[in-house]
Amino acid sequence: MELTLQLVIILVCLFYGARKGGVALGLLGGIGMVLMVFAFKLPPGKPPVDVMLTIIAVVAASATLQASGGLDVMLQLAEKLLRRNPRFVSILAPFTTCTLTILCGTGHVVYTMLPIIYDVAIKNGIRPERPMAASSIASQMGIIASPVSVDVVSLVAFLAKVPGGERFDFVTLLSLTIPSTLLGVLAIGIFSWFRGKDLDKDEDFQKLIADPEAKQYVYGETTTLLGVKLSASQWTAMWIFLGAIAVVAFLGANTSLRPLVGGKPMSMVLTIQMFMLLAGALIIIFTKTNPGDIGKNEVFRAGMIAVVAVFGVAWMADTVFEANLPVVKAALSEMVKTQPWTYALALLLVSKLVNSQAAAISAMVPVALAIGVPPGYVVAYAAACYGYYILPTYPSDLATIQFDRSGTTRIGKYVINHSFILPGLIGVITPCIVGYAMAAARGMV
């Protein structure tokens, strides 16, 4: 009975925190913690300090890149690719946003690309919903395939603590998530190419542009970065950031190059922390970046919200499940052993509840590993941590709707039938299937 009440408290905190948005999700964890410790007398769990510190380091480096203007270099290169191949924008655009996320570790880089994608589509008579909804989804899919994302770092850290989990190191994890994610992006791109009516056959669109003022609004002025002259400082910042990512990946693949700590190669968690802080420092030293601007941009703001969310949610969940582990294990272990895919479904639903992939992983992965879900399945179904497209409430999805002045990207009459639901389902189910197949072929499951 007590466990049921504790789970209800967790769900209430998650629901209310997600509804309020921002740092509320993490702060609501404080209510849960006080109730668990003072009312239910549970011993406090362990907050995921390593994960939180890594988030801070990665976000600081990414925010420094944005403040330096180095991110504009990547965006300009991406725009050149799209404008040279407008016919294929429904496939290339999601690959572009996914790649930017993989490189930067955050899906929030999509905001600057959205008006460019819209402009390429509408000026070439392509239904904007096709590339725009796919691009929003793909930008979030790339998080689980990024060597500097909170999700990957968290997953590696949790796996390293359980027997058999150490097999899934940094490089092994990415060797599964990167190809499965890219195949998922390809799947939503192909689907999007054919979705919806062509603009010349869409009665609603034709009715809209029949009004000259509305037509001017829909087609508008061209949004572009192509005419912007980028400074040497911006290019330097980009190369420093990409260089740090390359070094992290190289050290992940070559454990012998990492210093020994306690007789073992230094963990990748510490390695990422060090080199991300180094990247941010080098960008400040060798470019004209104003350190005061770093804490004011969207990447930094979103990253710090993620820190608070992971802190509150993971600490609360760890306290409850650690105290009730024998009961939870007895109730669920047999089911997850015989039907491991149920873990993926649970992870997907929790992600929707908390509106955060990192928070979903922090809440679910330790529990799953503790009750006997084999580490191979946790890795194979890693893509299921992205479920907040189910309802169109995530900022990138809402921004996409606003940037699409044609009105083709929208929330449906029944809310659930919105522009993102099918690309989202395809973009998560495909990597899960591919991830499982690849893990099975390598004897990991």
**pLDDT digit string, tens, across residues 35-85:** 999 999 999 988 878 778 877 887 888 889 989 999 889 888 888 999 899
Q: Is residue 34 pLDDT above 80, yes or no?
A: yes
Q: What's the chain's average pLDDT?
A: 86
Local confidence band at 379 (pLDDT 50, 70, 90 cut-offs): very high
SS3 readout for the chain: CHHHHHHHHHHHHHHHHHHHCCCHHHHHHHHHHHHHHHHCCCCCCCCCHHHHHHHHHHHHHHHHHHHHCHHHHHHHHHHHHHHHCHHHHHHHHHHHHHHHHHHHCCHHHHHHHHHHHHHHHHHCCCCCHHHHHHHHHHHHHHHHHCCCCHHHHHHHHHHCCCCCHHHCCHHHHHHHHHHHHHHHHHHHHHHHHHCCCCHHHCHHHHHHHCCHHHHHHHHCCCCCCCCCCCCHHHHHHHHHHHHHHHHHHHHHHCHHHCCEECCEECCHHHHHHHHHHHHHHHHHHHCCCCHHHHCCCHHHHHHHHHHHHHHHHHHHHHHHHHHCHHHHHHHHHHHHHHCCHHHHHHHHHHHHHHCCHHHHHHHHHHHHHHCCCCHHHHHHCHHHHCCCCCCCCCHHHHHHHHHCCCCCCCCCCCCCCCCCHHHHHHHHHHHHHHHHHHHHHCCCC
* Mean pLDDT score, 225-253: 87
More confident residue, 160 or 182: 182
For the entire predicted model, the pTM comes to 0.76
**pLDDT, tens digit (0-9, with 9 covering 90-100), for 126-181:** 999 999 999 999 999 999 999 878 788 888 888 888 887 778 888 889 999 999 99
* Mean pLDDT score, 322-349: 76
* Mean pLDDT score, 213-238: 86
More confident residue, 284 or 404: 284
Q: Is residue 1 pLDDT above 80, yes or no?
A: no
Q: Is residue 395 pLDDT above 80, yes or no?
A: no
Percent of the chain with pLDDT over 70: 95
**pLDDT, tens digit (0-9, with 9 covering 90-100), for 355-367:** 778 878 887 888 8
Q: Is residue 223 pLDDT above 70, yes or no?
A: no
